[in-house]
Amino acid sequence: HWYDDCTHILSFRPIISSEVERELTGTFDISSISTEAREWLEERIAEQVLERVKKLEEAMTESQKRARAEVESRLRAQILGEMEEEMASIRRREEASRAKCSALEKELEEKVRQADESEKRFNEERLAMLAERSALERERQEVLREKTALQKHEQLAIINKGGAVRPPIKFSFGK
């Protein structure tokens, strides 16, 4: 590395006068320098302070930006997670609704089928009852015809108009 080459140069100690060395290593008294030097030194200090403040502000701004980006990222992830959870909940409710609708449709189809069967049985029973009623009505008509024929026959037998049923009644008055 380049600094390995420079270490022997830096370890070299130049010869400095004791007066300069005392000034460099001793305490610094600003009142001992000239006004121009003091002003230049104050300006230089002010520039360095401003430069360091600016660097600190930039670092703080960058830190704030990173913190804000991190917070935004966490919030996005949290919101995305909540949305995914909500969507999963909606899907579960939708599936439950579909299953319930399907069950209700099957139940309705079964009830319609039972109603159709019941109506069919009712119609069959009604037709059977009507057929029985018709047969009973024919039988009643036949019985009425037979009764009427029997009544006629009895009446004819009584008044002997048929001739073959019994010998005529003879009345004689005074013999």
- pTM over 0.75? The answer is no
All residues at 6 or more sequence positions from 169 whose CB lies less than 8 Å from its CB, including other chains: 160
Percent of the chain with pLDDT over 90: 53
Residues 6+ apart with CB under 8 A from 157: 165, 166
Provide the residue ranges of all domains of the chain, joining segments of one domain with +.
20-159
Q: Residue 105 half-sphere exposure, CB side, CA atoms within 13 Å?
A: 6
Taking the C-alpha atoms of residue 24 and residue 32, their distance in angstroms, rounded to an integer, is: 14
Q: What is the reported pLDDT for 26? A: 59
Q: Where are the beta strands (DSSP E) in 9-142?
A: none
pLDDT in tens, 7-47: 554 555 556 555 555 556 656 566 667 788 778 888 888 89
Confidence band for 168, pLDDT divided at 50, 70 and 90? low
For 38-88, what is each residue's pLDDT tens digit? 788 888 888 999 999 999 899 899 889 999 999 999 999 999 999 999 999
What local confidence, expressed as pLDDT, does residue 30 receive? 62
Q: Write the pLDDT tens digit of every residue in 134-167.
A: 999 999 999 999 999 998 888 877 776 555 555 6
Helix (H, G, I), strand (E, B) or coil at 84: helix
